[in-house]
Structure 1
Amino acid sequence: MEKVLTFEQVSPWHDVPLQLGDGVYNFIVEIPKESSAKMEVATDEPFTPIKQDTKKGKLRYYPYNINWNYGLLPQTWEDPSFANNEVDGAFGDNDPVDVVEIGERRGEIGEILKIKPLGALAMIDEGELDWKIVAISLDDPKAALVNDVDDVEKHFPGTLTAIRDWFRDYKIPDGKPANKFGLGNKAANKDYALKVIKETNESWAKLVKRSIPANDLSLV
């Protein structure tokens, strides 16, 4: 009898667990470091596949390469109905939380890396709050050395400033204004990053339970 292989379709946003215990989180790579194609989960499509974003029918690219692995924390959501009083009253951007992973290895699109969060940048993009969690993959040679933002500055000098400047300026070549940052224009510490992750995980849970309107978002 011939064997038939079946593959269960899963959503990188909804079906991958956020936490693995002991302060370890799953991170899904959307954009590998040293690449520029604007890949992201299609939050309005069933199973939210990772696809290249389009604008006016054209594939979108950043104006220059991103220097870190970039992607999302599964099972998180920035609620667009929630005004964050700690960050200029900005409302969530209706997406999963973004991660900037600073390790040396280049990830692959769709790869799941085990990370530990180190800090958080509160980017404000056209009035919307768009958190950037700074993290490191546990398999990086320097992972044991970095546990908070101060360690990042010590072992990856200049990286936090480079991340902030990259995200501040990347829209300028398209004629748009620079993005802004809350929390004093600096990266908040690990505890603050964990608070952001917890709150956005709780918002995601309300979303999938349909206690918050999903509108165009896919919940499968």
Structure 2
Amino acid sequence: MYSNRDFNRWRRHPWHGLHARADDAAEDIVNVYIEMTPDDVVKYELDKASGFLMVDRPQRTTSSPPALYGFIPRTFCAEEVAKRCPDADEADGDPLDICVFSERHITRADIILKARVVGGIQMIDGGEADDKIVAVLEGDNIWGDVQDITDLPSIKAERLQHYFSTYKMIPGKEIDIKVDFVYGREEALKVIAAAEKDYWNHYGHLHEAAKQQ
């Protein structure tokens, strides 16, 4: 459990302390906290309690993410997200993942950027909904005008599907991961809205407590 003391750190918590989008931002422009870059073959992940980036595990294979990989602040995948994935038993209980394409090579993680949502991939990992939102860097010189995932070359989504279907593979062992369904901007925005609702249902009390201090 988080205490008020945990919530009010000097360093703003990337998950709880940032907003999903600026107050004046369009619906499809979101803030993204980046955990991994396309160069990473070590799985980095946010430590939920401290807000610092930690090493989760070294990847067993040579796979590296084909896009910047992180999450949207103040989102959580629980009951509402699971409702949008009929084949899943539940959601994975993490912030909503997002992959961001950029023409320029961004080489470091633990940064924040703005991205335009264009679609997503419905991933089911061991019976849990684990959606991957797909976006492009806002203002990108190549991808900045993309509005929907259908505007991207199809190989972009295919590479994401391949990465997420194989990045947990261990020789000789089967994995239960499905990444068959790719959806567009409209469904992606509905998934984000569901994840925002899940966040407030589970963690809204943190913000109410902070207001009272």
Same fold (TM > 0.5): yes
How far residue 179 of structure 1 moved from its aligned partner, in angstroms, is 1.3
How far residue 140 of structure 1 moved from its aligned partner, in angstroms, is 1.6
Please give the residue correspondences for 1:73-112 in structure 2 after superposition, counting only pairs within 5 Å: 73-79=72-78, 83-84=82-83, 86-104=85-103, 105-112=105-112
CA distance in 1, matches of 2:81, 2:46: 22
% identical equivalent positions:
24
Distance change >3 Å, CA 18–CA 92, structure 1 → 2: same
CA distance in 2, matches of 1:134, 1:82: 16
Q: Does 1:72 find its partner at 2:71?
A: yes
Instruction: Report what 2:175 is aligned to.
Output: 177
Aligned pairs, number: 192
The TM-score, its normalising length taken from structure 1, stands at: 0.79
What amino acid is aligned across from residue 19 of structure 2 in structure 1? P
Gaps of 5+ in 2: 1-8, 207-213
Superposed CA RMSD in Å reads 2.2
How far residue 85 of structure 1 moved from its aligned partner, in angstroms, is 5.7
Instruction: Report what 2:61 is aligned to.
Output: 63
Q: How far does the alpha carbon of each residue in 1:159-201 deviate from its partner, in whole angstroms, 9 at most, with x for none?
A: 11111111112222353425113xxx23111010000001101
User: Aligned to 2:186, which of 173, 184, 191?
Assistant: 191
The TM-score, its normalising length taken from structure 2, stands at: 0.82
Gaps of 5+ in 1: 1-6, 54-58, 212-220
Q: How far does the alpha carbon of each residue in 1:93-134 deviate from its partner, in whole angstroms, 9 at most, with x for none?
A: 010011111212225211101001110111011111101001
What amino acid is aligned across from residue 48 of structure 1 in structure 2? G
Q: Does 1:18 find its partner at 2:20?
A: yes
- Checking the alignment, whether the CA contact within 8 Å between 1:73 and 1:98 is kept in structure 2 is yes
Where 1:188 maps in the other structure, the secondary structure is strand
- Checking the alignment, whether the CA contact within 8 Å between 2:79 and 2:198 is kept in structure 1 is no
- Checking the alignment, whether the CA contact within 8 Å between 2:101 and 2:143 is kept in structure 1 is no
Distance change >3 Å, CA 120–CA 82, structure 1 → 2: closer
CA distance in 2, matches of 1:82, 1:187: 16
